[in-house]
Amino acid sequence: MATNKLDSTKIFESVSGLSMSAIANRRMNMQRMQNVLLIWLDNNINDDNADCRNTIKQLKCVVNNVNTFTDHKECFEFIQTITNNKVCMIVSGSLGQNIVPCVHAMSQVDTIFIFSNNQESHKQWIKEWPKIKGVFTDIILICEALKQTAHQCEQNAISISFVASNKKLDQLDPSFMYTQILKEILLTINFKDKHFKEFITYCRETFADNEYDLHNIKKLKRGYRNQKAIWWYTYQCFLYPMLNQALRLMNVDIIVRMGFFIKDLHRNIQRLHSKQFDGEQSGTTFTVYRGQCLSEEDFTEMTKTKGGLLSFNNFLSTSRNRAVSLLFASKAATNPDVVGILFVMSINNMNSTTPFASVSGVSYFQMEDEVLFSMHTIFRIEDIQSMDANNHLYQVSLTLTSDNDQDLRTLSDQIRKETYPDQEGWQRMGLLLIKMGQFTKAQETYQVLLHQTTNESDKAPIYYQLGCIKSKQGEYREALSSHKKALIIQQQLLPSYHLDLGDSYNRIGSVYHNMGDYPKALLSHEKALAIRKKSLLSNHPHLGDSYNNIGNVYISMGDYPKALSYYEKDLGILQQSLPSNHPNLASSYNNIGSVYISMSDYPKALLSHEKALAIRQQSLPSNHPHLGDSYNNIGNVYTSMGDYPKALSCLEKALAIRQQSLPTNHPDLASSNYNIGVVYDSIGDYPKALLSHEKALAIRQQSLPSNHPHLGDSYNNIGNLYTSMGDFPKALSCLEKALAIRQQSLPSNHPDLASSNYNIGVVYDSIGDYPKALLFHEKAIRIRQQSLPSNHPHLGDSYNRIGSVYRSMGDYPKALSCHEKALEIRQQSLHSKRSSLSDSYYKIGLECTNMGDHPKALSYYEKALAIRQQPLSSNDPDLADTYNNIGIVYYSMCEYPKALSYYKKALAIKQQLLSSNHPDLGDSYNNIGNVYTSMGDFPKALSSYEKALAIRQQSFPSNHPDLGASHNNIGSVYIRMGDYPKALSFHEKALAIRQQSLPSDHPDLASSYDSIGVVYHNMGDYPKALSSYEKALVIQQQTLPTNHPDLGMFYNNMGLLYDKMGDYPKALLSHEKALAIRQQSLPLNHPDLGNTHYNIGLMYYNMGVYPKALSSHKKALAIRQQSLPSNDSDLAKSYDSMRLVCNKMGDYSKALSYLEKALAI
Q: Please state, in angstroms and rounded to a whole number, the distance separating the CA atoms of residues 741 and 467.
A: 27
Q: Please state, in angstroms and rounded to a whole number, the distance separating the CA atoms of residues 1158 and 1161.
A: 5
For residue 215, what pLDDT band results from cuts at 50, 70 and 90? Answer: very high
Q: Please state, in angstroms and rounded to a whole number, the distance separating the CA atoms of residues 432 and 420.
A: 8
Within a domain: 574: no
Q: Would you say residue 263 has pLDDT above 90?
A: yes
537 Cβ neighbours under 8 A, 6+ residues apart: none
Mark 107-130 as b/e (b = at least 16 C-beta within 10 Å).
Answer: ebbbbbbbbbeeeeebeeebeebe
- Total count of domains within the chain: 2
Within a domain: 601: no
For the segment 1096-1110, the average pLDDT, to the nearest whole number, is 96
Q: Is the dihedral of CA 1115, 1118, 1120, 1122 positive or negative?
A: negative
For residue 372, what pLDDT band results from cuts at 50, 70 and 90? Answer: very high
pLDDT digits (tens, 9 = 90+) for 1019-1052: 999 999 999 999 999 998 887 778 888 889 889 9
For the segment 62-66, the average pLDDT, to the nearest whole number, is 88
In Å, what is the CA distance from 416 to each residue of 413, 504, 709, 814?
Answer: 5, 25, 40, 68
- The answer on 172 and 144 residing in a single domain is no
pLDDT digits (tens, 9 = 90+) for 607-630: 999 999 999 998 888 888 899 999
Q: Are 147 and 596 in contact (CB under 8 A)?
A: no
pLDDT digits (tens, 9 = 90+) for 275-324: 888 765 556 789 999 999 998 889 998 998 999 889 999 999 999 999 98
- The answer on 201 and 141 residing in a single domain is no
Tell me, what CATH number does 400's domain have? 3.90.176.10
* Boundary (domain end) residue, out of 138, 157, 176: 157
Classified as helix, coil or strand, 88 is: strand
For residue 135, what pLDDT band results from cuts at 50, 70 and 90? Answer: very high
Tell me, what CATH number does 24's domain have? 3.40.50.2300
Q: What is the largest CA-CA distance in the chain?
A: 143
Distance of CA 865 to the CA centre of its chain: 34
350 compared with 207, residue with greater pLDDT: 207
- The answer on 246 and 350 residing in a single domain is yes
pLDDT digits (tens, 9 = 90+) for 1109-1149: 999 999 999 999 988 888 889 999 999 999 999 999 999 99
Distance of CA 403 to the CA centre of its chain: 47
Q: Are 224 and 195 in contact (CB under 8 A)?
A: no
For the segment 481-485, the average pLDDT, to the nearest whole number, is 96
- The answer on 268 and 414 residing in a single domain is yes
- The answer on 114 and 182 residing in a single domain is no
Q: Would you say residue 127 has pLDDT above 70?
A: yes
Within a domain: 86: yes
- The answer on 167 and 153 residing in a single domain is no
pLDDT digits (tens, 9 = 90+) for 632-676: 999 999 998 878 889 999 999 999 999 988 878 888 999 999 999
pLDDT digits (tens, 9 = 90+) for 194-212: 999 999 999 999 888 888 8
Pairing of strands 338-348, 36-41: unpaired
For the chain, counts of helices (H) and of strands (E): 51, 14
Mark 468-504 as b/e (b = at least 16 C-beta within 10 Å).
Answer: bbbbbbbbbebbbebbbbbbebbeeeeeeebbbbbbb
User: pLDDT at position 684, please?
Assistant: 78
DSSP letter, residue 894 = T
- The answer on 272 and 212 residing in a single domain is yes
24 compared with 705, residue with greater pLDDT: 705
User: pLDDT at position 415, please?
Assistant: 67
User: pLDDT at position 367, please?
Assistant: 62
Q: Would you say residue 11 has pLDDT above 60?
A: no
Residue type, 488: I
Q: Which residues pair with 36 in a beta bridge?
A: 86
Residue type, 617: Q
Minimal CA–CA distance to 554: which of 746, 700, 714? 746
For residue 779, what pLDDT band results from cuts at 50, 70 and 90? Answer: very high
**What DSSP string describes 701-740?**
HHHS-TT-HHHHHHHHHHHHHHHHTT-HHHHHHHHHHHHH
pTM > 0.75:
no
Within a domain: 845: no
Q: Please state, in angstroms and rounded to a whole number, the distance separating the CA atoms of residues 845 and 826.
A: 16
User: How long, in residues, is the chain?
Assistant: 1161
- The answer on 230 and 84 residing in a single domain is no
Within a domain: 145: yes
Within a domain: 963: no
* Boundary (domain end) residue, out of 418, 438, 455: 418
Q: Please state, in angstroms and rounded to a whole number, the distance separating the CA atoms of residues 1005 and 768.
A: 10
* Boundary (domain end) residue, out of 139, 157, 175: 157
- The answer on 54 and 181 residing in a single domain is no
User: pLDDT at position 20, please?
Assistant: 39
- The answer on 315 and 196 residing in a single domain is yes
Poorest-pLDDT segment among 159-168, 328-337, 514-523: 159-168
- The answer on 52 and 153 residing in a single domain is yes
Query: Which domain covers residue 238, as residue numbers?
Result: 163-418
Residue type, 59: L
Average pLDDT across the chain, whole number? 87
- The answer on 369 and 222 residing in a single domain is yes
Q: Please state, in angstroms and rounded to a whole number, the distance separating the CA atoms of residues 701 and 717.
A: 15
Classified as helix, coil or strand, 67 is: strand
Q: Is 1063 left (phi over 0), alpha (psi -120 to 50) or beta?
A: beta
In Å, what is the CA distance from 1089 to each residue of 95, 289, 851, 1127, 1135?
Answer: 83, 100, 11, 19, 17
CB count, 10 Å around CB of 784? 26
Q: Please state, in angstroms and rounded to a whole number, the distance separating the CA atoms of residues 666 and 479.
A: 13
Classified as helix, coil or strand, 1147 is: coil
User: pLDDT at position 280, please?
Assistant: 55
pLDDT digits (tens, 9 = 90+) for 880-893: 776 887 788 788 77
Within a domain: 834: no
pLDDT digits (tens, 9 = 90+) for 901-956: 989 988 998 888 777 888 889 999 999 999 999 899 999 999 999 999 999 998 78
User: pLDDT at position 46, please?
Assistant: 83
Query: Residue 113 is inside which H or E element, if any?
Result: strand 109-115
Within a domain: 217: yes
Percent of the chain with pLDDT over 90: 51
